[in-house]
Chain A
Amino acid sequence: MNNLKARLAKERRFRLYGILSIALALTLLSILFISIFSQGYTAFQETKIQLDINFEQSVLDPKKTKDWDVVKKANFNILIKNSINELFPDVSGRSQKRKLKKLISTSGEYQLRNYIKNNIEAIGTTKKMWLLADDDVDMLIKGHINRSLPENERRIDNDELKWIEVLETKKIIKKFFNKTFFTSGDSAESEQSGILGALLGSLFALSITLIISFPIGIATAIYLEEFAPKNNKFIDFIEVNINNLAAVPSIIFGLLGLAIFLNFFELPRSAPLVGGMVLSLMTLPTIIISSRVSMKAVPPSIKEGALGVGASEIQAVFHHVVPVAIPGMLTGTIIGMARALGESAPLLVIGMVAFIVDIPQSVTDPATALPIQIYLWADTPERGFVERTSAAIIVLLIFLILMNSLAVYLRQRFEKDIN
């Protein structure tokens, strides 16, 4: 009787410990999420200013050629200057005027250029256009700069503040969904920088990793588990080494990639191709080990049953063992890939850490990767990059969550198929 009571109390206590530890983990996780999200969510908006742009014939195309090759040499900045000066006619003096122009991001010029390139007929007309604001303006509008601070303690001085307030009363300064963040590469100006370059870099590298490590990993696992001779010194040696590889720090794989892929095979530096190859070295042992574990979990009696009705060894393995083990194999692969997505050390070594503005078009173009972009931005003190760092972390986390949900989904689907 007493014994039973003690045992029940023990069980209850044990359950309590379990719940407490889960609660602790969840709390820490939500603190992490809340802090990242509260810092990062503003990065999903960008501030734009509306200007009446007069695409003056005399500035853009005085000879009326209507030829883009001629027009593209024109100075589009003048259009912005003219427009904003018209808005504030009482601003005078070169430096004041320059300060006024600086409310608009330097990307404004490219925006106009692109517009005229696609609508050459618009030359000579006037159009209302929303131009990207400078990052300091952006920060002020998002409330990251305190307007009540003394002038010398904020990045926006009194003149600028006055102008912005005029724009606000005219309702021609507004926050939009931040398309730039998802459509451009890195930039020295925070308002023009985006995640797309790094995202594509990561996706390219991960596809290479998947293409290399999935088939090789699964095939190795199946061979070692089902067909390799047992009690063979050489096979044992290989097994020990695969297990060792899983424990090797990832930066070592980066150095290996540097020595072999870059220096020996002379593959392009900073390329997702090499990044993917290095990451697949790192992912392979994970995939092999988890695949073997899931194949070991298949009861041998199933294979015996298949052999018993006259299936060959290969048929028994591929018809009965592999289908049962597939969910585990896929889960292992996706977890390996998720680890590769978050990995930065080996990519640093092979040069995927450069400041790259262009968006990679193929696996051989120089690129960075998501974790590296986070590292680069986190290293920049500007407030605009601080929020982008958090936003990039959010994007990375979303990808990780998507991949892990995919793993769960696949596992459930295959399990349903089997049972």
Chain B
Amino acid sequence: MYNTDVMNDNKNIIDSDDLISQTPSKLDNAKTVGNIHVEDPRIIAKNINVYYDNKIAINNVSIDIGKNEVLAMIGPSGCGKSTFLRCFNRMNDTIESCIVEGELYLDNENILDKKTDVVPLRAKVGMVFQKPNPFPKSVYDNVAYGPKIHGMAKNKIELDEIVIKSLEKAGLYEEVKDRLDTPGTSLSGGQQQRLCIARTIAVNPEVILMDEPCSALDPIATARIEELIYELKENFTIIIVTHSMQQAARVSQRTAYFHLGSLIEVGSTDKIFTTPQHKLTESYITGRFG
């Protein structure tokens, strides 16, 4: 429950009670609280604006993401987390009405540049979607598709190996090992989501975008995915959108709080959850709205 005493103790909290009900345009001059920069950035987002049909969905967001870092993005529903996440692999290109402005550097290359080829970009930046979307093909083909089109396996044996490894990492192999040729769409919702995760990691991406990957999973499968994130973090950069504070606290090093299209606050995860600087962040975390 919301605790006024805590709030009054903390003098740094910016008074923005009225901002809760504000429209994005009124938040214009609300500057991000906390340090958006990191020492050794892998991804640098500069002044990103995203519009749907001229309606602003992401408002002037800048943030760095470090190597081997897990960044959690939290915020109330509709605040633009998915929209922002989809900028990192240019997935917003597929939406006709969507316009993305700003600069987004991945390994010093501006991926928002018209000249950037999205095919290698998307192989490098994998994505797990909010809703499970397995291909209407067999479990095996779902996972094998990415490696196949990128020519990652020389022969069937290598391909089998990639498929099995990816399924194992996603914690699905034991459940499907004797029905690899059944359609992916016949799996349960949670199994489908893990299949999509396996499909994504099968192409060995360097950056993984996860849009609420565990929203359809039970605690056991969730734990398995969180373990996977922990393992992957050794080599990869991971950006995860989640509605579960506990999950954000468990898996991420840094957390970014979004509100109505603006990045309100960024900081190390423990700080955000223990001593949030912005009133909106605090309200959200303590469950006053969201």
Contacts and interface: CB of A to CB of B under 8 A. Distances in A.
A306 B199 CA distance: 10
A320 interface: yes
Interface string B118-137: 11111110110101011111
Contacts of B196: 305
Contacts of B1: none
B91 interface: yes
A310 B123 contact: yes
Interface residues of B, number: 32
B183 interface: yes
Interface in A295-347: 299-312, 315, 319-320, 324
A310 B135 contact: no
Contact of B123 (A230, A309, A324): A309
Contacts of B135: 302, 305-306, 320
Contacts of A309: 122-123, 126, 145-146, 149, 199-200, 202-203
A419 interface: yes
B131 A301 contact: yes
A418 interface: yes
B122 A310 contact: yes
B94 interface: yes
B60 interface: no
Contact of A306 (B124, B131, B145): B145
Nearest to B93: A307
Interface of A: 230-231, 299-312, 315, 319-320, 324, 418-419
A310 B129 contact: no
B128 to A, nearest CB: 8
5 contacts: A230-B96, A300-B94, A309-B203, A310-B120, A419-B136
A305 B134 contact: yes
B133 A418 contact: no
A310 B117 CA distance: 10
A184 B118 CA distance: 63
A310 B119 CA distance: 5
Contact of B133 (A230, A299, A324): A299
Interface string B24-50: 000000000000000000000000000
A303 B134 CA distance: 10
Interface in B96-152: 96, 118-124, 126-127, 129, 131, 133-137, 145-146, 149-150
A311 B199 CA distance: 13
A309 B118 CA distance: 11
B255 interface: no
B183 A310 contact: no
Majority SS at the chain B contact face: helix
B137 A418 contact: yes
Contacts of B119: 310-312
A-B residue pairs, 5 tightest by C-beta: A310-B123, A301-B133, A309-B146, A310-B122, A305-B133
> Which of A231, A303, A309 has its CB near the most chain B CB atoms (within 10 A)?
A309
Interface string B175-201: 000000001011000000000100110
A313 to B, nearest CB: 9
Contacts of A310: 119-124, 146, 149-150, 203
Contacts of A301: 129, 131, 133
A302 to B, nearest CB: 6
A320 B135 CA distance: 7
A419 B129 contact: no
A49 B263 CA distance: 98
Nearest to A310: B123
Most buried by B among A305, A312, A419: A305
A305 B202 CA distance: 13
Specify which of B118, B135, B199 lies most central, judged by the most chain A CB atoms within 10 Å of its CB. Answer: B135
A419 B145 contact: no
A306 B127 CA distance: 10
B96 A302 contact: no
A390 to B, nearest CB: 46
A308 B145 contact: no
Nearest to A312: B119
Contacts of A304: 91, 94, 129, 133
A419 to B, nearest CB: 5
